[in-house]
A and B are shown apart, each in its own frame.
Chain A
């Protein structure tokens, strides 16, 4: 690789990671005014431990993400299998319908959900967030599991049948083991989509019941404090770790 290319890639990576690094470093700075040189301290993390609002929000985030993962994982995998196995009228339309939740700005989907849920009496709160998060995660699950299925040789199922496996055994011993990495990737992905989701959660939160991103946003609007750096650092580290996990099972860039 030419030196110029290396430098360029390096600069892009600096641009992408430097702000996050600065935030993380500052979260360990004892000074409330981000004074330099840094006096290292875990003070802000200790403060977090005493912040019940943030802890509650964190638990909510995990709860919503887990439920979203299970529901989106099951529904999405089922739909992906149907798309893979069957050719039917309206298939393209159904596949096209996966696009809006991804492509329409979340602001529009979020406000529409708020208005519809409020109007119909579904209301706001964690259950409403699960409704919304599953809708956002479903397309990704279908895409990720679908990508894995693309590599599936239908002859494997035929072979299992000719060897005497009944339909249930075919799924249990052949299809699911093959799909497993895709389903795991999709589940981690769904978890990440929900865990990091801010916009939808923001519109569907009720005062006192919110998730970490919503709580962080509220704190930012009130004014920057090093405590936000600390919780944000935790959130971004968790989020990136999850995604590295996804990448072990799913190639973001398609075939390589």
Chain B
């Protein structure tokens, strides 16, 4: 009540709370404006220039960068390749993560659940770069995986996994799996156990309960997880560089190149914006379900 009425009080109090709101939120949002909003706008501006207006050079307004993207199939292919990577990783995360979240939410009890949940979730927030790097120790030729296989099946030969598309997928699934487990866990946890028991008493089998009850109710969590995995994956560049080698060319690595190697900032900006557009379309498409998850 106090929170609701503060803004509805007398005129004098409204003015003083307006000042309080400005003082409390102003600095944070000023910061976000300078570091996120203005840079994004500047990037949009750069994407319409012939060259970056730095070091005394003058860029002229042009659609050239976007034309390059449309005319050269190379970039479209790369975007599609990145989108495919995003879908693959998100789907694999769902396949592996959903059962895991279900077990955590519905079968594990008490302190065990808390401990296991923490074990699953901690890696997600820890150092992503190091986690990706650690896979090189496992996947490289004569690395742990090949030796393990060789031990089981002597003479199985090299898998040649390192520096492949598969290696990139493995590294990314490893990176983002905890996210899917987290979002699924939260929505699975909200499902009242009584619902499942009610369905059973009405004669529903396990599969029916999963299909008709649990999956629909957990859908917001699944979609939230998938979207929140898909989006960073299509913008990934460090993981493909480390695990993909020459097979690791995606739109992300090309954008990185424009900024750090080729120094064609306007093209990089245009590509970034096309990628951002993809992200926004995804968010817009799934907004209704995402709102339910939040």
Contacts and interface: CB of A to CB of B under 8 A. Distances in A.
A229 B137 contact: yes
A164 B188 CA distance: 46
A171 B4 CA distance: 19
Nearest to A244: B122
Contacts of B46: 115, 119
Contacts of B18: 88
Nearest to A140: B125
A125 interface: no
Contacts of A57: none
Nearest to B99: A8
Interface SS of chain B: helix, strand, loop or mixed? helix
Interface stretch (B191-199, B201-209, B272-280): B272-280
Interface string B237-274: 11001100000000010011001100001001100100
A256 B24 CA distance: 31
Interface residues of A, number: 92
A174 to B, nearest CB: 13
Nearest to B123: A16
Interface of A: 1-2, 5, 8-9, 12-13, 15-20, 22-23, 26, 34, 36, 71, 75-76, 78-79, 81-88, 94, 97-98, 100-101, 103-109, 111-120, 131-132, 134-135, 138, 142, 154-155, 157-158, 189, 192, 195-196, 198-199, 202-203, 213, 216-217, 220-221, 224, 228-229, 232, 235-236, 239-240, 243-244, 246-247, 252-254, 256
Interface of B: 1-4, 6-8, 17-18, 20-21, 23-25, 27-29, 31-32, 34-36, 38-40, 42-43, 46, 52-54, 96, 99-100, 103-104, 107-108, 113-114, 116-123, 125-131, 133-138, 140, 143-144, 147, 174, 177-178, 181-182, 185-186, 189, 228, 231-232, 234-238, 241-242, 252, 255-256, 259-260, 265, 268-269, 272, 275-276, 279, 283
Given A22-B138, A119-B42, A220 B133 contact: yes
Given A86-B21, A88-B21, A105-B232, A135 B36 contact: yes
